[in-house]
């Protein structure tokens, strides 16, 4: 007598489950068509001589006009390869004109920088010598490299060359290093078939992201990074961002009127960790940045729940800080503390350069630290004891 009831009951239970599965399949299929997976480089690559040389160059403050500015000074590990400051001081003591972008995954983009005016990471690094690093000419770094004992490393990295120490090879080695800074994230696991890699809200965010039109510009495996578009399609961007300066974008270099306010569509990999946002770092909150985008690119702000879901989705693009994103041989600084017993004054280790990076558990320890605003001054130095694990860890 109960058999039909049981059958109906089973069908009712089964239906939503089948619906979710079908939903997931459709959502994934759509996402695979628009976006795409990124993959970490094999560990062996990190040990290649050119990559190791690039790592050393990237982190060496001495290779700058003031002897204190490394690439990593403005591309910080605790900021996922970007810089939490709106602008960053260069080796001449001047602030950069635009906000520092993350170097993670950057080499997967066809062109670099806010207006896509560098065609390769090698080109970008070489140009930095007379830019951020403050030298009068790119060649000025050559005697310095020799004096600091880099010659053998250049020889190992470029064995077929008679005179390997050159600005060109400086750029190539740095590019080789940057190509290893790829950060797969939960989103990649989701695309690869792991339904649970995204939460229900994150899936909703992914759906909204595509539905409202974000994905029309932010496409490909990086969710952006290619193509230049006007910032402010529907209205002037500075009204929404409160920017002090009306940066003309690509127009500055081309003087072509249609290039006014054109910027590269930002990639969104790790975006939840690389604020403040936009070329001038004018917006510090990610949800607000999403609303600014909806407002000026699509014509209206989103209902709050949708904006929040998009932010949740963007969180799924956060990968781990690569373990070799640190100064080679950086000194370890241990500060131990328990939850609720946070250190008060600046620790002894505050003398350690900002770029001296953490040896262990970089991502876990750092996420934890950056979520405690009172610890911000210390967070570069926070390393939790390996055996004990970070406070609150299982």
Binding site for ligand HEC (CB under 6 A): 58, 69, 71, 73-75, 88, 90, 96-98, 100-101, 103, 106, 109, 112-114, 121, 124-125, 128, 132-133, 174, 178, 212-214, 216-218, 229, 231, 233, 263, 265-266, 271, 274, 277-279, 289-290, 293-294, 297-298, 310
- Of 87, 36, 125, 38, residue with least CA distance to 322: 38
At residue 23, the 3 state secondary structure works out as helix
Pick 186 or 361: Cβ nearer ligand HEC: 186
For residue 335, the minimal CB distance to ligand HEC (Å) is 27
- Of 364, 35, 38, residue with least CA distance to 189: 38
Pick 66 or 349: Cβ nearer ligand HEC: 66
Pick 133 or 312: Cβ nearer ligand HEC: 133
For residue 21, the minimal CB distance to ligand HEC (Å) is 27
For residue 98, the minimal CB distance to ligand HEC (Å) is 4
For residue 371, the minimal CB distance to ligand HEC (Å) is 20
Pick 279 or 327: Cβ nearer ligand HEC: 279
Block residue for tokens 């060649």? 139
Pick 117 or 195: Cβ nearer ligand HEC: 117
For residue 300, the minimal CB distance to ligand HEC (Å) is 10
For residue 25, the minimal CB distance to ligand HEC (Å) is 24
Cβ–Cβ < 8 Å for 58, 85: no
Cβ–Cβ < 8 Å for 341, 367: no
Peptide bond before 276: cis, by omega within 30 degrees of 0? yes
Q: How far apart are CA 19 and CA 16, in angstroms?
A: 5
Beta bridge partners of 112: 118
DSSP class per residue in 324-339: T-S-TTPPP-----BT
For residue 27, the minimal CB distance to ligand HEC (Å) is 17
Cβ–Cβ < 8 Å for 312, 205: yes
Q: Name the H helices within the chain.
A: 3-34, 49-59, 121-130, 141-147, 151-157, 167-178, 186-191, 200-212, 214-217, 237-241, 251-254, 286-293, 304-315, 362-370
Pick 70 or 382: Cβ nearer ligand HEC: 70
Pick 174 or 383: Cβ nearer ligand HEC: 174
């Amino acid at each position: 007598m109960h058999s039909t009831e049981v059958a109906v009951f089973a069908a009712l239970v089964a239906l939503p489950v089948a619906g979710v599965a079908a939903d997931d399949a459709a959502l994934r299929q759509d996402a695979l068509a628009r976006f795409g997976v990124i993959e970490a480089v094999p560990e062996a690559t990190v040990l290649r001589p050119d990559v190791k040389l690039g790592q050393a160059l990237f982190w060496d403050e001495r290779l700058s006009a003031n002897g204190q500015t490394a690439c990593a000074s403005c591309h910080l590990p605790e900021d996922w390869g970007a810089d939490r400051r709106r602008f960053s001081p260069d080796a001449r003591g001047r602030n950069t004109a635009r906000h520092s972008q993350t170097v993670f995954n950057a080499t997967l983009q066809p062109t670099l920088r806010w207006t896509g005016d560098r065609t390769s990471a090698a080109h970008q690094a070489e140009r930095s010598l007379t830019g951020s690093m403050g030298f009068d000419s790119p060649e000025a770094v050559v005697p310095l490299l020799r004096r600091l004992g880099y010659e053998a490393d250049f020889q190992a990295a470029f064995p077929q060359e008679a005179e390997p120490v050159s600005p060109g090879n400086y750029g190539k080695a740095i590019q080789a290093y940057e190509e290893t800074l790829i950060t797969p994230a939960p989103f990649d696991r989701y695309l690869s078939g792991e339904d649970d890699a995204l939460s229900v809200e994150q899936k909703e965010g992914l759906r909204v992201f595509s539905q409202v039109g974000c994905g029309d510009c932010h496409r490909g495996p990086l969710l952006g990074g290619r193509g230049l578009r006007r910032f402010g399609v529907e209205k002037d961007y500075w009204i929404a961002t409160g920017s002090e300066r009306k940066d003309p974008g690509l127009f500055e270099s081309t003087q072509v009127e249609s290039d006014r306010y054109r910027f590269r569509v930002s990639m969104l990999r790790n975006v939840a960790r690389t604020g403040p946002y936009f070329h001038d770092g004018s917006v510090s909150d990610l949800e607000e940045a999403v609303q600014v985008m909806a407002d000026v690119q699509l014509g209206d702000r989103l209902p709050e729940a949708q904006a929040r879901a998009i932010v949740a989705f963007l969180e799924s693009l956060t990968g781990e800080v690569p373990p070799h994103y640190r100064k080679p041989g950086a000194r370890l600084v241990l500060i131990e503390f328990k939850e609720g017993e946070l250190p008060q004054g600046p620790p002894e280790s505050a003398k350690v350069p900002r770029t001296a990076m953490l040896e262990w558990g970089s991502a876990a320890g750092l996420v934890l630290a950056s979520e405690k605003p009172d610890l911000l001054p210390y967070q570069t130095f926070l390393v939790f004891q390996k055996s004990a694990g970070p406070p609150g860890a299982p």
